[in-house]
Structures are given as structure tokens and as C-alpha cells.
Structure 1
Amino acid sequence: MPSFDRLFSILRRAAPPVEAPAPKEPRREDLDARLARAREPTIWLRRVLEADSLSKLGGLPNLPDGVDWPRQGVSNTPLHFLAQIELAHLPPTPLAPRTAALPARGFLFFFADMEEEMLWGWGDRGADSDATRVIYAETAGPPRAPPADIPLVGHAWGKPDGGYAKELSVFPEAPLQAHVIDCFVGAHLYFQGDASREADRRMLRSIERATGEAAPVLERRYENYEHPAAWVGSARRGGDGEIAPPEARIVRHQMLGAATNVQGTADGARERGLVSLLQLDSDWGLCREFLFCDMGMAQFWITPEDLAAGRFDKAWATTEGG
């Protein structure tokens, strides 16, 4: 007599295959309505070759005299300078009354401890605010060199080097130019569904409208096309101007609006009513060390009350990656 396993095998081969139901495609009008509700303006910060303001990634901060270079609250090592924004050169965004306005003038300086694990706010690292800092100043000073004891980027926790450290403690400098574009609440960086992919396409189209140029597209998160000819070849297919491929990315340095959801932090911050003060993306176009948690993002947050009061010293950052 055949064994049970043998009988089961015979029956399984004889039975007709069971087809999984085809995934249900969202109706176009439903998707359009969902994205219309999710759309918000954001200030997209584009790397450019020539400066029209003091806004920039990397380089040396233009900290005014009398403002100390910030240090890690637990280890006391100097933080790394990430970016500065000249507020007078930002375009207005129609986010009121949900979001208080940024000051019309002055400068914001953003710092963080770029240590190997980037465990900001974890364990013996102290709070997020110990590892990250935002400074507001009404005026700018000359470029300020970092303190002599600044650790290397990628250093081991509490040490000047080790870990993933390279011979780099100051990032290369790149001017930033600000444009108002569309972003979408709930859009995901990884594991995208139809809505997030369509949100990406619409964001890219809004960049092209704002800049009058083809959007700088990443075919993959670790490749950056620097030249317009490459952007066009990467961003277009066929004759209908559709953005392609679905996994295309741009470098998402941005202020205000909906922060990009990487692993849930942005959605959680929005539920708490926090304002996305600045989002910095991993950007190999600047340098390969400008990297946040496995090609993720650093996101600086502030409460609406602190933003309205100009208490940028109470802002903090989180980071997460893929």
C-alpha cells in the first residue's frame, strides 16, 4: 500500500493548479484623488556649480563670531558640519496655517556626529539632541575651520578615528539652490507601491517645471548622474515623456513639506505634528562619505511651537536607512 506521502504526492500532481488572484490595480481616479490629498509643497535644495547665496552642503560653516562650534553632548567631540541655509534666499511655501513660517532673514547651520553606526539617541550616545544640532544666527561670518580635535567622518564612537573612518573630517562644498516642488505625504523611499511610484513621477515632473530642466535622476540609490545629457537619457523613455524607470530616485535634500518615509520615522513624526525642518539625503554626487545609514536620510525635526518662537536650538535629527 502506498504511503500517505506517496498518495498525497500523486493527488497533488493530478489536481489542477490553483491560480493566485491577480493583484487588484487601483483605479486611476482613486489614485489621482489620493495623491491630490497627499500633495504638499516643499523646498527642494538642488546642488549647483555656482552659488547665488551662502546656502550650501559641506565646506566650512560661516558661523559668526561668538558662536561656538557644537560638540557631542556625551563624548564632547566636535560635530561635523553638514549644511547651512541662507533664509533670505528661500522661496515662500504656502504651508500656513499648519506650519509656522521660517524667519525671513538669517542663517541656519546643521551639524551631526557622523560616527560609524550613527546611533543618534541610542544607548550611551545620549539623546538625539546630543548627536545633532541646529544653530540659528542673524548674520554670517567668515568660513570657520573646525576645532583641531574633530574626529574623522565614520569614526568609532568616542574615538577620533577607527570604525569606518576615512581621511575626511570636512565634506566637500557644494552650493545649494532652492525651488518649490511637489512632495507627497506617505511616499516611501523603499518597498514602493503604486501610489509611491506615481508620487515620484509627479515630483520629478514638478522639478522639471520649477527648474526648466530635466530632473537629475538616480537609476539606483548608489548612482548619481551629474550631467544634463545623462539626466535626459535616464529620466525619459518613448515619446510620451513618462518618467522611467519606476525605481528612479532623485537626491531629496528638502525643507518643510512632507518628509520622505524611510522606515516609519517620517510618518510617526507627522502624527506627532512635528515640522520637517531639513531633510538631507545620502549624496554620492557630493562625496561617498555623505552617507546616512546605508543610503538613507538624516531628518531634522522641530515642534511648531519652537519654530514659531525661533528656538532652533531645540531641533534635533534622526537617521535611518534601507
Structure 2
Amino acid sequence: MRDSNRRWHLAARPEGEPELDCFEMREGERPTPNDGELLVSVHYLSVDPYMRGRMRDTASYAEPWAVGDPLSGGVVGEVVESEHDGYAVGDLVTGRGSWADYTVLDGDDVTEVDPSVADLPAYLGVLGMPGRTAYFGLFDVAEPRAGETVVVSGAAGAVGSTVGQLAKLQGCRVVGFAGTDEKVDWLVDDLGFDAAINYATTDDYRAALDDAAPDGVDVYFDNVGGPITDAVFTRLEVDARVAVCGQIAHYNDEAVPTGPRKLPQLIAPRATVQGLLVSDYTPRFDRAAERLAGWVADGDLRHRETVVEGLEHAPEAFLGLFSGDNIGKQVVRVAEAAQSGENTEN
């Protein structure tokens, strides 16, 4: 165990896309857990697009960080001190903690992880918040039916790749948008998508949709917004459902973007558009986790993690989300866990 603890803090609020000088690493004493708490050695931490909103000084569904606050998110690691009756030293757990070597977690708010089901990074992706987001967003909001066409933007990310596979399990035709040929090939060849569109090399998204989704779009799972969403809205079928999960194309905008007006395009298809926050489904997390783990164990749900090495590189890992560096879930390896293995592509 280290005697000290490195931890990242918000150094300044970004204007537009964040830069490295928005982050500051500070080193201090290793924290001590109080009654009911756990001291966890962080093995992997999660970086996620929603964190960009927490850097703004505006109210949102996620409480903003103040300048100087420690940065936080999903972590998975090993209990090194326990003041909670339900956990012992050596247990592997996941919860919400600091971007740090060590973090203190409330023992009532963590979940024990099973490395025999999947490697530890998967508990920040397909078996964590992104997997639950995909599960509830697809099944509760989008409600796909066998034979329908499901289009997913940001399809090679942690949420989108899970959404597409779950839709295939429902008997749907699945089309994904992604930003490189490597991602497109992964979606089709490895995950079983019926078609994928490289938005970076495609000039006409509407024409590409006509080829990939000739019967129109019944379900659109939107992780991105922007021109892709503008194009998909023109191809919605009657009774289409749109699940709005994220808008990463706009997270760094300083002004509200103006684009094609979408509401008239909902009239003829009588389409439904609904936003989703995974926290609304907290009472059902256990059931979702059980089903997701079952599909992973059976080989029906594949996952991939892009691992950035070293706590010192956490800001670069976060910034990489906005340039599309990751395939699957973007995580940072802070410390090695013997139980976690090395396989991050399943």
C-alpha cells in the first residue's frame, strides 16, 4: 500500500472542449474509513461523457463540481480497510469514488463484483452504469419489437454497443453509426450488427440510412445528437420511438446550436421522443445486473474496454472521449489486480 494518495481535482472550468490545465493532481495522506465505510484501492476508474456537464457552473441532473473539488465517478477496486460488517479486506467492489489511488466508499452503496463472470473493467461498462443505461433505455423507453429496425448513434461506445446487441437478442435489425472503419468492422463482424455507417467518411447520412435501413427507422437510440440525429429523424416510421440518452456532439458547445427543426418531423410518423436517466431505475438495478451478467456469461453479450494506463493519464482518457479514441468502454487502470486478469476484449 502507498502511504500517500494521489487525487485529481477540477482546477478550472473549461470553455468549449476541456484542456489539460482544467485538471490538477494533488498528493496527500491516504484516507481513513469511518464506521460503515471502506477504504478501497482503486484498480480501474471510469471516465464518461456526462462528466463534462459537471464541469459547468449550471444546474443539471448531475451536481456540478466546484473548482477545487475532487473528480469522481465509477470505480472498481479492492477493499484494503473495512469498517463495514458486510465486507472484508480483499473483497472486490464497485461504487462511486474519486479519481485517486485510494477512495473511501460507503459500504451500503457498493456492490461486490465477481471476476469469474467478467474482468474488473467490465463492471464499469457492460456490467455497470453504461450497461444498465442500455438495458433500461432500450427495453423500458424504446420498447423494440421483433422485426423492427433499431438505429444507434455512438454505437461503438459502451452504451451503444450494448444497446445494439440487446436489440439483436430481441430479433431486430440493427444499424449503428461509428467514426472509424475499425469500429464499423467491430460492430458488424464481432457484435452482429446488420449494418454500420462510418459517419466520418459518409457525406450523405440520409442516403446511407436508405441503404442500411431500407424499411425506415422504428427505434432510434440517440447517444450523439447533431447531424446524425437530424438525418435519422427524417427516416422515422409510424409509431417510432426515440430514446435520448446523450448528446456528446453538443457537450462542449458554449452556445445552444441551431439546426433543422425536428418537431414537424414527428407529426406524420406519430413518433415518441423520451429522454432517460438511468438513476430513475435504481430500484430495478439488481434485476438488470442479473440479466446482463447472464448474457455475458453465456456469450450472448460481448464487450470491449479501452484501457488507458496510469492514474496520471486520467485527464487524457477523459478528453479522448470527445475525439472518439475509445472502442467500447474507456477506463483508466490505476493499480493492477491479480484477480482481474488481462483480457479486456470479450
Please give the TM-score of this superposition, normalised by the length of structure 1: 0.29
Greater strand fraction, Structure 1 or Structure 2:
2
Greater helix fraction, Structure 1 or Structure 2:
2
Asked which structure has the greater CA Rg, the reply is: 1
